[in-house]
Structures are given as C-alpha cells and as structure tokens.
Amino acid sequence: MDVTIFMQQMVNGFSLGSMYALIAIGYTMVYGVLRLINFAHGDIMMVGGFLGYFGIAILELPFGAAVILAIVGSALLGMASDRIAYRPLRSAPKISLLITAIGVSFFLENAFNVFFGGVPRAFPVPAYLEVVVDFMGLTMPVSAILVPIITACLLAMILWVLYKTKYGMAIRALAFDVGTVNLMGIDANRIITLVFGMGSALAAVGGIFWAVNYPSVEPMMGVLVGLKAFAAAVVGGIGSVGGAVLGGLIIGFTEVVVIAFLPELGGYKDAFAFIFLILILLFKPTGILGIDFEKSRF
C-alpha cells in the first residue's frame, strides 16, 4: 500500500464527508425540534446549488456574492416551506407531516425539472478554486482543502449559537419539551423558523460545495445526497450536531475508501449509507452519539 495514495484518499474522504456532514446537520436540527424527517432538505441543497449557478452564470455576480445569494435564498425557502407546509400541521399526526414533506420535496424537484430542464448544467467554478496544490506529494484542488475548513468553521458557529446564545438555549429546550417551552413564554414557532433557516443555509453551502466538486447542477442532485445525509445523521445519532458531523465523515470515508481499494464494488457506493443505517438500527438505534429520543419523549 502506497502511503501517498492512502493519504490522497483520506483527503478525498474528508472532503466528501464534510459535505454530507453539512447537510446532515440540517436534518438533525429539524428532527431535534420537530421530530420530522424533512425530506425536502436535500432539495433545498439542490436549490442552493442552482441559486449559486444563477448568480454566477446569469446575474454575473462574483463567486462570493453568488454564495451569499444561495445561502440567503435557501434559508428563505427553508423558512417558507416551514411556514406554508409544516406549521399548519403542528398538531396533526406525524404521518401527515411526513407526507407533506415528501410533497414539498417532489414539488421542488419537479418544478426545477420543468422550468430549468433535467439536463445537468455546467457550474462555472472560479479559477482560483481549481488551482491544484502540491502538498507533501499529495495533489488536490484548493476546493478540496477549503471544504473541510469551511465545514469546521460553520460547525463551530453552529455550536456557538446552540450553546452560547439565548436562541441556542431555546432550540435545545425545544428539542427537550415543546409544551413547556411554550409555557415559558418562548415563541416556539419563531425558534423553529430559525432552525429551518440555519439548516437550509448550511444545506446551501453544501450544495455549492457539491456543485463546485462535480462541476454541475441538476434538479435531482439532492435526492441521493439528502438520503445519505439523513443516514449519516442517524448513524451519528439523530438530534446531535456532533453526531451528524461524525456520521457524515464516516459515510464519506467509507464511500471513498471502498471505491479506492475495492473498485469492483464501485457500483454499490450509493448503497453503503443505507447498509450503515440498517446496521446501526439493529445494534444501536440511538446512533453513535445519540440521545434516546424514544425514552425522553414517552
């Protein structure tokens, strides 16, 4: 085994895992406060990628501005989806909420498909992200280095919000007990909107990373990524932000490493996340770092 190749794959795995992690954080936060698998989360990531594409290719914004457009746009979309589709169902049976989430997801996919076409569009990656750097024999584009760094920064930010601010305290309280939070004079709906905004903003960043890495965007790009990210959130322990990151990294690494060293399994790479998911449900349903929601709730 060549050490350089091994290290190279590690870097790739870290980069891919960071992307899953960013998206998984959104799943885990929404699940934490609403106990809802937000099926539309992967599609919000897709919208983020598309907004970045529109910003650069149509509005001719610089890359940074396009990223901000994508983040703000996706956050607004996430909050709107909560306001329109999920909030009226707060007291409804959970199955209604799940079905609505699937409806929102299918709507986003198909609306983008109808209006912008299903053919992948080349994403205009700025040249400075494509520069290949040579570091101790490892070659990688700048973007592959930036992804984990930015993910780490965003993770620190999220953790800061969650554990050092009043809003964070409210979010954690909401995850613990919705009824009591309302009694304490906290507007639960506002906090839930905030959670959707934060999660969707992170998904947009993930979407931009994705678009830069596989330089293209298409309406269905969020489906599989979203599912894998959810699997990552469950593997790490749903409801825990650290767990989401851990799960994302595990699944990203597995995909990259298995393909690198067992190429004949390449066709199955999309199945690993689900195999992990089933194994973790069998042996430790709360996930690696998980909180036992079932018990805390009932």
Partner 1 sequence: MGITVSKNQWMNVAMVAFAMCFIVFSSNYFDEYSVRILNNIAIFIILAVSYNLINGVTGQFSLEPNGFVAIGAYVTALLLVSPEAKQYQYAIVDPYPFVMTLHANFVVALLLSGIFAALLALALAAPVFRVRGDYLAIVTLGFGFIIKILAINNPEITNGSLGLNDIPEFSNLYWTGGIAIIAVIVILNIVNSKFGRAMKAVRDDEDAATAMGVNTFKAKTLAFCTSAFFEGVGGGLLAALLTSISPDLFDFFFTFQLLIIIVLGGLGSTTGAIIGTVLVIGGSEWMRFLDEPMHLFGYTTTAMPGMRMVVFSLILIFIMLFAREGIMGKRELKDFFTSRKKGEK
Per CB under 8 A, residues contacting partner 1 are 35-37, 85, 88-89, 92-96, 98-100, 102-104, 106-107, 110-111, 113-114, 118, 223-224, 227, 230-231, 234, 267-268, 270-271, 273-275, 277-279, 281-282, 285, 294, 298
DSSP 19-43: HHHHHHHHHHHHHHHH----TTHHH
- State the minimum distance, in angstroms, from the CB of residue 131 to partner 1: 35
- State the minimum distance, in angstroms, from the CB of residue 45 to partner 1: 16
- State the minimum distance, in angstroms, from the CB of residue 105 to partner 1: 8
- State the minimum distance, in angstroms, from the CB of residue 114 to partner 1: 5
Give the residue with the Cβ less far from partner 1, 68 or 227.
227
Give the residue with the Cβ less far from partner 1, 36 or 171.
36
Spatial distance between the Cα atoms of 104 and 80, rounded to a whole number of angstroms: 11
- State the minimum distance, in angstroms, from the CB of residue 265 to partner 1: 9
Give the residue with the Cβ less far from partner 1, 69 or 231.
231
Q: For 50, what's the count of Cα atoms within 13 Å in the CB-facing half-sphere?
A: 25
> What residues contact residue 226 under an 8 Å CB cut-off, 6+ apart?
23, 39, 41, 42, 43, 45, 105
Spatial distance between the Cα atoms of 21 and 40, rounded to a whole number of angstroms: 17
CB neighbour burial string for 138-162, b if at least 16 within 10 angstroms, e if fewer: eeebbbbbebbebbeebbeebeebb
CB neighbour burial string for 35-71, b if at least 16 within 10 angstroms, e if fewer: ebbbbbbbbbbbbbbbbbbbbbeeeebebeebbbbbb
Give the residue with the Cβ less far from partner 1, 43 or 195.
43
- State the minimum distance, in angstroms, from the CB of residue 241 to partner 1: 19
Give the residue with the Cβ less far from partner 1, 100 or 213.
100
- State the minimum distance, in angstroms, from the CB of residue 50 to partner 1: 16
50: left (phi over 0), alpha (psi -120 to 50) or beta: alpha
Burial of 278 (0-12, 13-18, 19+ CB in 10 A): exposed
Give the residue with the Cβ less far from partner 1, 55 or 290.
290
Contact 150, 205 (CB under 8 A): yes
Contact 199, 89 (CB under 8 A): no
Give the residue with the Cβ less far from partner 1, 166 or 297.
297
